[in-house]
Amino acid sequence: MEQLLQQIADYKKEIESFSAADSAAVEEFRIKWLGTKGLVKTIMGEMKNVPNEQKKDAGQLLNEFKQFTEAKFEELSQQSVASDIDLSLPGDELPVGARHPITLMKNRIISIFQRLGFAVAEGPEIEDDFHNFTALNLPEHHPARDMQDTFYVQQNPDWLLRTHTSNTQIREMEKGKLPIRVICPGRVYRNETVSARSHCFFHQIEGLYIDENVSFADLKQTLYFFVKEMYGKDVKVRFRPSYFPFTEPSAEMDISCTLCNGEGCSVCKKTGWLEILGCGMIHPNVLSNCGIDPNKYTGYAWGMGIERPALLKYGINDIRLFSENDVRFLKQFTSAV
């Protein structure tokens, strides 16, 4: 036992004073002390020569010695890693994410309207019948309420996945703080067959302006500004009369095709025009439904999809690519704006 104690003390001294110049010396240290034929193993073998009544103390000592040696090796390895680093080498490339093309398009649209004083408002994606339909002047028999178009929540038939972002407009109007000038971006859901051209969920952005003396001229001027900022000064705009239950009068707005400059191509179906949004003056019934006096206030609203302009801008031919999470697709937008 005396001999064993002396041996451990000597080894400890040797290990303590050891220092490694490079990783090869660290490896030598490991083989000498901790290898399969190393000194730690050998001295552990001495246990069999220790008298039974001292085995417990000896075992403890030997274990401590083993841990001491392992700790030293750990320290040497870390020092060696540090000294092996060549600071003049170029660093490892970090994977850089990219914004999703839908986000890029959404931000682009938002930034144009923010310059005109529009604030951004958001609303719930699970909505009740009133905020998605009734308040918007959609009578009970309206086809948009049909099960084929809307996802209803089974537990409560009054709940549904919103079919447009107009629910956010209703919720803004209900707050009763006038005037209102907001844009409402968000995801919407329709019970549609998924194909290259349509999906069961997509994104919309809607605008709403309510104040005294807001006219259709204000609406047109705002949208003209948007189109020039978005598609360039040479793009032509036309309004076509249309019908929506929540606006009166209502219109669809087209722009001259940005791909063929109005000459006719497959994207514009040879018409030279692309339909980009629907708009109109807010129906007095909608204002009344939200507690706003239609005799005092008027307002306009417009709404557009985000997928379609993104498809056009980035030359994407399948709407499903947006939601497939394929890194090969998403990576292409690393430097896009």
Positions in the binding site for Zn ion (CB under 5 A): 257, 259-260, 265, 268
What is the closest distance, in whole angstroms, from the C-beta atom of residue 315 to Zn ion in the complex?
Answer: 13
What is the closest distance, in whole angstroms, from the C-beta atom of residue 312 to Zn ion in the complex?
Answer: 10
Q: Which is nearer to Zn ion, 227 or 257 (CB)?
A: 257
Phi-psi region of 269 (alpha: psi -120 to 50; beta: other; left: phi over 0): left
What is the closest distance, in whole angstroms, from the C-beta atom of residue 305 to Zn ion in the complex?
Answer: 18
Q: Which is nearer to Zn ion, 268 or 279 (CB)?
A: 268
What is the closest distance, in whole angstroms, from the C-beta atom of residue 274 to Zn ion in the complex?
Answer: 7
What is the closest distance, in whole angstroms, from the C-beta atom of residue 263 to Zn ion in the complex?
Answer: 7
Q: Which is nearer to Zn ion, 272 or 284 (CB)?
A: 272
Q: Which is nearer to Zn ion, 268 or 281 (CB)?
A: 268
What is the closest distance, in whole angstroms, from the C-beta atom of residue 279 to Zn ion in the complex?
Answer: 22
Q: Which is nearer to Zn ion, 26 or 253 (CB)?
A: 253
SS3 assignment for the chain: CHHHHHHHHHHHHHHHHCCCCCHHHHHHHHHHHHCCCCHHHHHHHHHHHCCHHHHHHHHHHHHHHHHHHHHHHHHHHHHHHHHHCCCCCCCCCCCCCCCCHHHHHHHHHHHHHHCCCCEECCCCCEEEHHHHCHHHCCCCCCHHHCCCCCCECCCCCCEEECCCCHHHHHHHHHCCCCCEEEEEEEEEECCCCCCCCCCCEEEEEEEEEEECCCCHHHHHHHHHHHHHHHHCCCCCEEEEEEEECCEEEEEEEEEECCCCCCCCCCCCCCCCEEEEEEEEEECHHHHHHCCCCCCCCEEEEEEEECHHHHHHHHCCCCHHHHHCCCHHHHHHHCCCC
What is the closest distance, in whole angstroms, from the C-beta atom of residue 275 to Zn ion in the complex?
Answer: 12
Q: Return d(Cα 252, Cα 302) in angstroms, integer.
A: 9
With beta carbons less than 8 A apart as the criterion, state whether 313 and 105 touch.
Answer: yes
With beta carbons less than 8 A apart as the criterion, state whether 205 and 304 touch.
Answer: yes
Q: Which is nearer to Zn ion, 71 or 259 (CB)?
A: 259
Q: Which is nearer to Zn ion, 70 or 275 (CB)?
A: 275
Q: Which is nearer to Zn ion, 209 or 231 (CB)?
A: 231
What is the closest distance, in whole angstroms, from the C-beta atom of residue 235 to Zn ion in the complex?
Answer: 12
